[in-house]
Structure 1
């Protein structure tokens, strides 16, 4: 919980303000889960602060909510291409994914349980950045990521909006986004490394090296065959 609150502070997710007249802030709650690796071993005990987005009112504190999600068949196709041409397949994980999306609406939330100080007891959180649970959280993150990766020169696939491509002569690079999982696929390591560096400069990202486990699927690779 402390780690989550530190992350909220580092990302300047909210400011504490006096509750505006006529505004009823949405609530929030703590959600706890265990994150495991491909063998089922526990990697992280995670405490996440989640907004009670079901209290939001359309047209007041949210408007658009749609966000594209990569189709799993697209991942399979690109893995097949990578295996056939012996491309590199790298994986990255975005930390606190939804804390990267900027809000366009005014959203007020109650303070998190266990972290209310006496001097701020009557205040509420005015959200600057989306958090988990908000109806527009996924959309805000997707728009932010799309802007960042396009700025680096990638083009969005028209038929699959979570797949990006970048070509330069014979050098080929693909990027797949599935919420907070990123696959980087390509045939030139010196070209792929700056992609990692760029994403790490834009977001808080964990480099997982060569892809081994994605969406419940284990990836085994024997490059000699």
Structure 2
């Protein structure tokens, strides 16, 4: 059994919005989170060493509450937290069940749960403070004030310029130390290039601010980049408030016959993702500009007209039907391609 986690890409979507509106970003930690709920299953365990009942050492314990180490522990904790937070009028996000929001007369508080880490994002300090105080009455909490680290990502802010930066410097350094400490010759040969890349880019930031609060996407493809099976590589990125929030790079699962086809397939994959991103932002309910057309930029003069006006000719008739989804989205979801 598993516990749902807030998606990292959803957090990356929320933080640029928070930077744009200059929202507060606070952080809390739930102490011994997995010990907070009762369990439904019948589970027995040996008496802990040093705490055995004299004369009844042969007996076992019947667990009443969740403990660390149980497969059910994380799931049980998530269900319990969901029930508790619902009682304080927070509403669960339909697209990410670990994101909650509470809106009252123009004030908004977003709560993001990642196992036992909590982010509180909002525009009303009193409302945020009340939420903190209420959480402390329900669980044993540690107040971490303004957020500085979340899921291994360090957050920097310049609120005077409404700029927010994120880096995984510490996480990358841990990876480098781990693999460099015990790597054999075979391991070193295999990952040498990757480790060099990590070392040279560990101080690179994702920076949000200085841009418009408008979602825009870019798609591209590398025609038949794999010499073994002649398949192409596709990629896309989406930017919000001047920084990248969602990206992907993967090998296409079909063999394309032309650059137009591979670019068209890449744009189709980007179009599918843009629908999810747009729905995420609309679900938050604070970004009015998301109602405007979303542009996906493509650098292929053959793919653009093909997407704008679906047609079949001898060069495009081999494209699978599922990739024509992009053309349908141009009308249904207000997506533009340039």
- Assess same fold via TM > 0.5: yes
Q: Which has the larger radius of gyration?
A: 2
Provide the residue aligned with 1:130 in structure 2. 66
User: Given that residues 101 and 142 in structure 1 are in contact (C-alpha distance below 8 angstroms), is that contact kept between their aligned partners in structure 2?
Assistant: no
Say whether the 8 Å CA contact 2:2–2:71 is kept in structure 1. Answer: no
Aligned to 2:253: none
Alignment match, 1:114? 50
The equivalent residue for 1:223 is 159
**Does residue 70 of the first structure (1) align with residue 45 of the second (2)?**
no
Residue 161 of structure 1: CA displacement? 0.2
State the partner residue of 2:332. none
Are 1:94 and 2:30 counterparts?
A: yes
Alignment of 1:162-181 (within 5 A): 162-181=98-117
Aligned pair 1:207/2:143, yes or no? yes
More strand by share: 1
C-alpha separation in 2, matches of 1:120 and 1:201: 38
Deviation, structure 1 residue 73: 0.8
Structure with more helix by fraction: 2
Q: CA deviation at 1:223?
A: 1.1
Return the alpha-carbon distance in structure 1 between the equivalents of residues 156 and 70 of structure 2.
37
Higher relative contact order (CA 8 A, sep 6+): 1
Retained in 2: the 8 A contact 1:88–1:186?
yes
TM-score (norm 1): 0.68
What is the Cα deviation at residue 136 of structure 1? Answer: 1.2
Cα RMSD of the aligned pairs, angstroms, is 1.3
Write the deviation string for residues 80-132 of structure 1: whole angstroms up to 9, x where unpaired.
11111100011000111110121011111112233335344233221111111
Structure 1 unaligned segments of length 5 or more: list them.
1-64
> Which residue in the other structure is 1:155 paired with?
91
Q: Which of the numbers 127, 143, 154 marks the counterpart of 2:79?
A: 143
SS of the residue corresponding to residue 9 of structure 2 reads helix
CA distance in structure 2 between the aligned counterparts of 1:82 and 1:224, rounded to whole angstroms = 13
> Residues of 2 paired with 1:102 and 1:80: CA distance?
38
CA displacement at 1:194 relative to structure 2? 1.1
TM-superposition CA deviations, 1:182-222 (whole Å, max 9, x none): 00000000111111111111111111111011111111111
TM-score scaled by length of structure 2: 0.46
